[in-house]
Amino acid sequence: MNGDQRGPYKDKPQAVERLTSIIEGFMALLGRRLPDDVQTRLEQLRAREDSPLGREIYAAMFTNLDMAGALDRPCCQDTGILQFFVRAGTAFPLLDELEDCLKEALIRATLSVPLRPNVVEFFEEKNTGNNTGTRIPWVDWELLPGSEGIRLFAYMAGGGCSLPGFSRVLMPLEGYDGVYRALFDQIVAYGVNACPPLLVGLGLGNSADTAARLSKKALLRFIGTRNPHPRAAEMEERLEKALNKIGIGPGGLSGNHSVMAVHIEQAGRHTATFAMGLSTGCWAHRRGLIEIRKDLSCNILSHGNAVL
């Protein structure tokens, strides 16, 4: 039958089940294996570390990762709260079902991976037990007109790496100096709790909410990329070098490098405001990118040679 409500699939419920299974497998991969860019940067930092204690911390990190692979279990007991960032084609046949698939996949992955139940409802002060809850999983949507596929970023936001996060609107006169001062004050005060070396996301924009959202999106960029604006790219490099001089080091126990990278994302601002947001990712920065096509074939762009 052509043109009926089943769309391109002969069996739509089966297609929904297939999509849910893909997402469940993707979440299992994120929990158990770091993305290639994070793994590579940690190896680079380990090679550059000359602190005896710092070298021991890196050795423990890589032993942990090896054991996670061998035992097929999460590389960190805090599997966080799942956040999804979806670039969705408006012509993707299962667009209407996608958010339900994300939620169901998360419920299943909580049991199958397993993922630690972390979601506590405000006011009830009760753990939901399955990693879902009010507005959780959080889904950030970006529509791609006419596209028939989706690009799905998933991020396991652990409790530690969320501690330094904040957003603030500065007076315009404070300018970039105010951004630097607020960022360093926050990293120095809370960075040790976030399991360094950190990936630092800095959002700059018009208001506290947009800056915060941009700072989280900055964590999705692959390490080694730079903001396309030359001044922003220069700022990323300058901040990375400066933050690596404060000596927090791996595990917060001192060393040569406190951050893996600094990523900046920006939006236009009002003439009277200068907003900034800060998000950080821990050394076990568990985020990934998968591309799912109309026929439900997929390509994992963050983890080479991965098979679901």
Please give the pLDDT value at position 84: 98
190 and 163 in contact (C-beta within 8 Å)? yes
Tell me, what's the pLDDT at 7?
65
- The tokens describing 278, both together, are 């800060």
**Sequence spans of domains, the chain:** 12-33+75-158+286-300, 160-281
pTM score of the predicted model: 0.94
The closest of 60, 65, 40, 45 to 255, measured between CA atoms, is: 45
Q: From the options 3.30.470, 3.30.1330, 1.10.287, 1.10.600, give the CATH code of 12-33+75-158+286-300.
A: 3.30.1330
Please, is 220 exposed, middle or buried when counting C-beta atoms within 10 Å of its C-beta (0-12, 13-18, 19+)?
A: buried
Mind giving me the DSSP string for 171-191? -GGGHHHHHHHHHHHHHHHHG
Question: Block means of pLDDT (10 residues each) for the chain, length 308 residues?
Answer: 57 97 98 98 97 96 97 96 97 98 98 97 97 97 97 96 95 93 96 96 97 98 98 98 96 95 97 95 98 97 94
pLDDT score recorded for residue 3: 41
Rounded distance, CA 110 to CA 132, Å? 10
Res 8: pLDDT: 83
207 vs 179: CA distance, rounded Å: 14
Q: How far apart, in Å, are the Cα atoms of 113 and each of 69, 79, 110, 249, 262?
A: 13, 10, 6, 31, 31
